[in-house]
Each structure stands twice: as structure tokens, then as C-alpha cells.
Amino acid sequence: MTASFAKLERLFDPSLPFITKEGAQMIADIRAEPEEEERMDMLAEKINTGTATHQESREYEEWARQGALLSVFQAKARRFLKSL
């Protein structure tokens, strides 16, 4: 585990009262809006067909980075909720 992920681990440590049960549930429940999903699908299609502009490629990459980080937070939130 990298140092940065070790720091994330502390956010969800049940022995530290940093995250509440309600806050963890809110993190676990975050979902993209339908319009966001449509935009991501459109960008993914353009990426896959090689028709994306440089700006569209950057937008897609940023969404992917944010999605990956959110996935980590959600997994940690779910584990935190199970530990309660």
C-alpha cells in the first residue's frame, strides 16, 4: 500500500471518530447523474473510435481519475460500515 493510500485508510478507521456512519453511507451511495453517464458514454465511444478531440480526451481522462478515486473511497466506506 502506498503512503497516500495509507492516509486514506486512516479516514475510515473505526477507532477515530472522523467519519460518521451517515457520512460513510453518503460516500458509498454516490452515483453519477444520468446526464453525466450519457456524457461519459459518448466520450468513451469517441475515444474508442479515435474521433475524440484533445479536449474530449482530457475530459475523459479526468473523469476516469475521479472515478478511480471515488471507487477507493466507496470501498473504504463500505468496509467501514460493515465494521460497525
- Give pLDDT tens digits for 43-84: 999 999 999 999 999 999 999 999 999 998 999 899 989 988
Rounded mean pLDDT of 6-19? Answer: 74
Predicted TM-score (pTM) of this structure: 0.76
Are 67 and 73 contacting, i.e. CB atoms less than 8 angstroms apart?
Answer: no
Q: Which pLDDT belongs to residue 35?
A: 95
Q: Which residues, other chains included, contact 40 with Cβ-Cβ below 8 Å and sequence gap of 6+?
A: 32, 60, 63
Q: Which pLDDT belongs to residue 41?
A: 96
Tell whether the model's pLDDT for residue 1 goes beyond 60.
Answer: no
Per this entry, what is the length of the chain? 84
